[in-house]
Amino acid sequence: MSSVKGGIKKTVGIDLGTTNSVISVLEGANPKVIVNAEGGRTTPSVVAYTPNGEVLVGQIAKRQSVVNPENTFYSVKRFIGCKYEEIENEINRISYKVKKEEGGKVKIYCPLLNKDFSPEEISASILKKLVNDATKFLKENITQAIITVPAYFNDSQRLATKDAGTIAGLDVLRILNEPTAAALAYGLDKKKSEVVLIFDLGGGTFDVSVLEVGDEVFEVLATSGDTHLGGDDFDQLIVSYIVENFQKTEKVNLYNEKQALQRIIEASEKAKIELSTIQSTRINLPFIYIDGQTPKNIDLEFDRSKFEELSKNLLERCKTPVQKALQDAKLTKANIDQVILVGGSTRIPAVRNLLIDLLGKPLNETVNPDEVVAMGAAVQAGILAGEITDLILLDVTPLSLGVETMGGLMTTIITRNASIPIKQSEVFSTGSDMQDTVEIHVLQGERPFAKDNKSLGIFKLKGIPPAPRGVPKISVTFQLDVNGLLSVSAREEKTGQEQSIKIEGASTLARDEVTKMVKEAEENAILDKSKKSFVNITYEFDNLLSKSELLLEKINTVFTNLEKTTEVAFFEACFANLKEQFAFGELEAISTESLPDLKEAFNYLLLEYWNSNLQGTSRGTDGHSSPKGVVIDVTDQ
């Protein structure tokens, strides 16, 4: 057991979820979920405004949503920190109005108050409810918290979540990844080291992480996910099924009827939950629409097999992140000791069966999937507050980090899934003669070419002493800390001239960008390899071309036409042949024949010229000795 210190001011752990939220605190050495004022261990992430301006949060807000659909706000986590363009496809799913403000900001409109709210403000109301209930339960004022987010939340979403905490009056000590939090809660008392796979399917997002836990060390080996997959998406399958059936039979689009839509959303969620324990349920919604004086009803039987048929595509999407996480961790399913379920959507039987088939082992059901993330956040709170000592948490960066180099390539400095904090350096040089400035273009992604990756920032290093290309040594250092803050510095080793840039949130990207980048890297691997080969050959050709021209010029000042050896003739022939092949794009012939031939001839003649130069022997027509001290850089050959 890790050592525990007492007498420390309480810091709570909060799982601010899409569907439900949970608050937990460390008592002694164990995390404990705090019940809310209604006696529940989870609080619906729902906020409503009443005609008298009262704010309702949690279960009471959810209960009145059908009669007040346009002023009841739920699933706001899908919008926090996002631009309007990023969430446009999700607006039809909800019964309230989402507006686009200047700069693409998202605002939630409350017609009852004729007022716009930011997603941060709505989220802050949920946090206030959790903290107020915890304050009453603990009889202690709560001012500090750890708040969890999906592993692939981008910088804007993380900062917006932190802002929500600030609006709620909290000092947010850390934004913690949800799968990592779950592992902390699961592995707190583990003495034996285990490799665990965290399968986190929540209301709006999906994360998979592979970790090694136990013996006071928690190391994230790999993480993957899908930022557009969660319980809401399963609900929407049922909603669409109901709405489309009604439109076929009644010729009415219920997506346009906000109150009816809210009833259908609630009925769909209820049906989904019921089908986790029973084979069939009835969806009965009387008076769902009034056509003049004629009421229209919905009454249909909905069974598990139909639900699973509708869910096929979503279930298929659950597979890829699992397989990718294992691949990135360099493990097979046989290496996984435990599969930990997180998020209410893991109760869906088809999801569980898919996992069992995929990994070939039973699922660990020792943790509560609704509560384990908040409990892990409480453990992290205890670590930061000094209540728990001797625990080491090693998280990872989900994508590679590097710089743009010659030919538009990306050179990786920190690889994907590297443990953080981390510091790595590489030495580069100039790409042209007498270059006094280099531009450092910082990138994130898995593609070989800079243009296909995420640009994080650009800065310049000036004052490089004039020298032939390839001579200056420029050390570029990447440093990524535990909070996801990336610092990049460049230093010219001869003069000590240095420049740096700090980039916040470099370990995250915009919605779906991480998954998209990895997928594109896999799909375009062959094409990228071909393009990269072309760039490398082009650069090598260009480099050798300039040096060959210089060598030919020097040779012609040393040797007469009569004295030229067969090696010189061969070199000139290779040189001419290579230029011709390059002009016609004959890459295979260049890389396998012409370039090696020219290199061999180049190196031989360089040695001959150098020997002649050292001996001070003039074989030129003007009687002068050959020039001394000519340096031709062949380090790239």
Active site residues: 15, 77, 178, 200
User: How far is Cα 166 from Cα 127, in angstroms, rounded to an integer?
Assistant: 10
Strand 474-480 with 422-428, pairing: antiparallel
Q: Please provide residue 615's backbone torsions phi and psi, each rounded to the nearest 5 degrees.
A: -75, -10
E strand residue ranges, 360-506: 392-396, 401-405, 409-414, 419-420, 422-428, 437-444, 454-462, 474-480, 486-492, 498-503
C-beta separation of 119 from 96 below 8 A: no
Name the nearest CA neighbour of 178 among 156, 195, 161.
161
Residue 91 tokens read as 């607006």
Sheet with strand 206-214: strands edge to edge: 338-342, 194-201, 206-214, 217-226, 392-396, 419-420
Euclidean distance between CA atoms 224 and 149, whole angstroms: 14
Reported as type and span, the H/E element at residue 106 is strand 106-110
Q: Which two tokens stand for residue 69?
A: 């659909």
Between CA 481 and CA 317 the distance in angstroms is 32
The two tokens of residue 537 are 């050959």
The closest alpha carbon to 96, from 125, 69, 63, 64, belongs to 69
Question: 3-state class of 539 per DSSP?
Answer: helix
Which phi and psi angles does 624 have, rounded to 5°? -90, 150
The sign one gets for the Cα dihedral 416, 419, 420, 421 is negative
Q: Which of 632, 610, 633 is nearest to 558 (CA)?
A: 610
3-state secondary structure 113-140: CCEEECHHHHHHHHHHHHHHHHHHHHCC
Peptide bond into 44 cis (omega under 30): no
Which 3 state secondary structure label does DSSP give 11?
strand
Residue 250 near residue 289 (C-beta atoms within 8 A)? yes
Task: For residue 10, give the DSSP letter.
Answer: P
CB 400 within 8 A of CB 446: yes
3-state secondary structure of 298: strand
Rounded to 5°, the CA angle 108-15-13 comes to 130
Cite the beta strand spans of 445-555 per DSSP E.
454-462, 474-480, 486-492, 498-503
- DSSP class of residue 67 equals T
Closest CA to 433 of 539, 538, 537, 546: 546
d(CA 519, CA 514): 9
Q: Is 412 within 8 Å of 420 (Cβ atoms)?
A: no
**Two tokens, residue 239:** 């909603």
Q: Is 318 exposed, middle or buried (0-12, 13-18, 19+ CB in 10 A)?
A: buried
Gyration radius of the chain's alpha carbons: 32
